[in-house]
Amino acid sequence: MSEDDGRTTGTGRLVTGLAWALLLFGLWLWGRGVTDADAGGPAAGDVLAIGRDADPARLPRPAQPLAGAVPQRVDIPRLGIQAPVVARGLDAHGAVDPPPYDQAGVVGWYGAGPEPGAAGAALLVGHVDTATRPAVFYRLSTLEPGGTVRVFRADGKVAEFTVDDIRVLSRDTFDAHQAYGPRVPGRAELRLITCGGTFDRATGSYTANVVVSAYLTRTTG
């Protein structure tokens, strides 16, 4: 992953048409060649995460989408994560640029896409590790369906999402639209994305991506 100065493109702007297609192409490239610093082995919990989706009958009903508002913090209680969120743009390859490695505890939000809580799939990206320590999404793949992700927004509202799918997608068969596109039209969804699999020293990249999918089920504040 390359570093960027972090740029936003305005609250409420959705990626549609050609722009969305270009983003998906960039994410496909990212999924095939994404790199993180080597921590020496597989990312935590990847084997358990493969194809772990939920029984829809046991999940809460989706809540109505909110108006757009910039995310400020993401909390994942089960993982003990309370991380600031910063807007990010695209890197030179057209993929979402995560925060730099010296901000390994920060989560990046794709600022040209939907805000968390608004209709569509909001994208949150974070590192799995650095050269010396685990990073913010090191244990992301250990989440379970039914788990909770809370996003604190600039409008004072807290958007609460319920996890409904966790997948580890090989970069060799990576499908960006399946991974990052909206699953239910008109629903407010969230994607939490990091590296997964094992670190391939020959290519300098991880062999997979962890993609956690969630949808808005409650709003507080």
Instruction: Tell me the average pLDDT across 80-94.
Output: 89
Query: How high is the pLDDT of residue 3?
Result: 31
So where are the chain's domains?
17-220
Residue 70 has pLDDT above 60, yes or no: yes
Least confident of 53-57, 75-79, 172-176: 53-57
Nearest Cα residue to 206 out of 108, 116, 140 = 140
Per CATH, the number for 17-220 is 2.40.260.10
Phi-psi region of 5 (alpha: psi -120 to 50; beta: other; left: phi over 0): alpha
Do residues 76 and 148 touch, judged by C-beta distance below 8 A? yes
- Mean pLDDT for the chain? 79
Q: pTM of the predicted model, to two decimals?
A: 0.78
- What does the pLDDT look like over 97-122, one tens digit per residue? 889 989 999 999 999 999 999 999 99
Euclidean distance between CA atoms 31 and 207, whole angstroms: 9
Residue 1 has pLDDT above 70, yes or no: no
